[in-house]
Amino acid sequence: MTTVRRVLVGVSGGIASYKACSVVRRLKEAGADVDVVMTAAAAEFVRPVTFEALCGHSVTTSLWERGRALAHIDLGRKPNLIVVCPATANLLARAAQGIADDLLTAILLAREVPVLAAPAMNDNMFAQPVTSANIDTLRANGWTFVGPAVGSLAEGPSERPGRMVEPEEIVAEALRLLRAPHSSLSGKHVLVTAGPTREYLDPVRVITNPSSGRMGFALACAAYERGAQVTLVTGPTQLPTPYGVETVKVVTTCQLRDAIAERLTRADVILMAAAPSDYSAGEPAGDKLKREDGTITLRLEPTPDVLKSTAELRQETCIAVGFALETTGGVERARAKLESKQLDLIVLNSESDPKSGFETETNKVTLVTKSEAAELPLLSKQQVAENILDRVEKLL
Ligand code: CTP
């Protein structure tokens, strides 16, 4: 997060209250300053001191605390966003009716800032028309909702919505509400590629590379937080599908090219972080190659240069960003790729740093344009993604 944002997390009382701890922690990790207000019922599930330790501020649970007479006005004005998680059926009903009989509902009535709510309740409670009507009322008052999801409830498995969505989804939605209004990527179509591709030599053997996909996934998540409509085309990786991002899975370089070609005309930005295999076997063997057949000679053919092939299909205004990993000639070679692939920016990975590149959590990169080469320090891939998107926003 580039600027510190204040978030008030309102915790109401349900079995999902404990998951609000994770939400607070993740918001803090994302750079937010977090206050917590709990209902009396929430304090029966998780003790306020837990939230105090996580958010670093005292946690208020009552309208009647000495010295905090106007807490409901102050706390409602101070944050940039209020996140209610879990939002129980009872809390939603009271808020929809404008009842302000405890600190959290009083804040929600007096608030001047957006509210994000993550409902959590028994599936029958959620299915009641009165609950839907309460949610509709709150939506009409500007509230945003995330979930509920279908899945296990405290009382057992369920096939109907009721379960609170996972903390990472709540945090992604909260960060999007905080960040999108300040980003020129808001509403833009961003196409990201990630991971390696695989080219089959026979039905069980492949040519590939150790790309983990982390850089592309970090870009997709960061672009979503900035309010973009994000499509992620990814080769095989072990990473979980990012929340809010349309994810398309491919295996070969040709599949990657086709998946991009289908979506390219809508894209305002393309971020090509994938490491497509540069060679394929042309005609892979139909049966498994056998060791007893002795030495084999492979004839490898180059795969299409996907990024280059997008140059004619991209909208004129589309910002194109490529990546380069060079063992020699760094900036000069990266700039040659920038020219030949008609890019606006190329991200040069440092090959010499062991903490950078394939299979690492961090990256050391230089952002290369026609006229500039800005070397960044060793950063997490999330931080590198933020730097790249800051550049893209300037170019848009
Ligand atoms: N790229 C691509 N299609 C390929 C190979 C690479 O679109 N078949 C993209 C990568 O996603 C990256 C950029 O092109 O954004 C540069 O990739 P890199 O592997 O550094 O360069 P190559 O063009 O493959 O050239 P070489 O491997 O010969 O350096």
**DSSP letter string, 51-112:** HHHHHSS--B--TT-TT-TTHHHHHHHS-SEEEEEEE-HHHHHHHHTT---SHHHHHHHH--
Low-confidence ranges of the chain (pLDDT < 50): 1-2
Give the contacts of 136 (CB within 8 A, at least 6 positions apart). Answer: none
Q: What is the pLDDT of residue 298?
A: 87
Residue whose pair of structure tokens reads 């800005």 in the numeric block = 374
| Whole-number percent of the chain with pLDDT over 90 | 82
Which atom of ligand 1 lies at the shortest distance from residue 253's CA? 8
Could you tell me the distance, in angstroms and rounded to a whole number, from the CA of residue 305 to the centre of ligand 1? Answer: 7
Question: Exposed/middle/buried for 355, CB within 10 Å: 0-12, 13-18, 19+?
Answer: exposed
CA dist 174 and 386 (Å) reads 17
Nearest Cα neighbor of 273 from 200, 325, 228, 336 is 325
C-alpha to C-alpha distances, 383 to 189, 365, 377, 378, nearest whole angstrom: 21, 11, 10, 9
Cβ of 72 closer than 6 Å to ligand 1, yes or no, is: no
Q: Which two tokens stand for residue 372?
A: 């500039």
Partners of 232 in beta bridges: 192, 247
DSSP letter assigned to residue 197: -
Q: Using one digit for the tens of pLDDT, what is the confidence trace for 276-331? A: 999 998 888 899 989 998 998 888 999 999 999 999 899 999 999 999 988 777 89
Q: What is the predicted pLDDT for the residue at 1?
A: 44
| Radius of gyration for the chain, computed over Cα atoms and rounded to the nearest angstrom | 25
Closest CA to 85 of 129, 158, 27: 27
The DSSP code for 275 is B
The encoded tokens of residue 258 equal: 């086709």
- List the catalytic residue out of 90, 141, 209, 349: 209
Closest Cα partner for 173 from 238, 113, 108, 245?
Answer: 245
Closest CA to 91 of 16, 161, 39: 39
Degrees (nearest 5) of the Cα angle 376, 380, 384?
A: 45
> Residue 352: what pLDDT?
76
d(CA 341, CA 308): 5
Q: Is 209 noted as a catalytic residue in this protein?
A: yes
Give the residue, by CA position, lying nearest to ligand 1 atom 12: 323
Pairing assessment for the beta strands 362-363 and 379-380 based on DSSP bridges: antiparallel
**Closest C-alpha to ligand 1, atom 28:** 278
Two tokens at 367?
């952002």
Asked whether 324 lines ligand 1 (CB < 6 A), one says: yes
> Within 10 Å of residue 168's Cβ, how many Cβ atoms?
15
Residue 248 bridge partners (DSSP): 233
DSSP assignments along 138-159, one per residue:
HHHTT-EE--PEES-BTTB--S
Alpha-carbon dihedral angle through residues 216, 222, 225, 230, given to the nearest 10 degrees: -30
Question: Is 65 in contact with 89 (CB distance < 8 Å)?
Answer: no
Q: Is the CB–ligand 1 distance for residue 231 below 6 Å? A: no
Question: Are 71 and 57 contacting, i.e. CB atoms less than 8 angstroms apart?
Answer: no
Cα–Cα–Cα angle for 81, 395, 231, nearest 5°? 65
Give the tokens for residue 243: 């929340």
The reported pLDDT for the residue numbered 135 is 98
Using the 8-state DSSP alphabet, how is residue 165 labeled? P
- Cβ(143)–Cβ(115) below 8 Å: yes
Q: Which atom number of ligand 1 is nearest to the Cα of residue 193? A: 11
297 secondary structure, DSSP code: -
Long-range contact list for 170-173, CB < 8 A, 24+ apart? Answer: 170/23, 170/83, 170/85, 170/116, 170/118, 170/146, 171/23, 171/26, 171/27, 171/30, 172/221, 172/224, 172/225, 172/242, 172/243, 172/244, 173/116, 173/144, 173/146, 173/243, 173/244
Dist. CA 113 → ligand 1 center (Å): 45
273 Cα to the center of ligand 1, angstroms: 9
Closest CA to 169 of 224, 131, 125, 114: 224
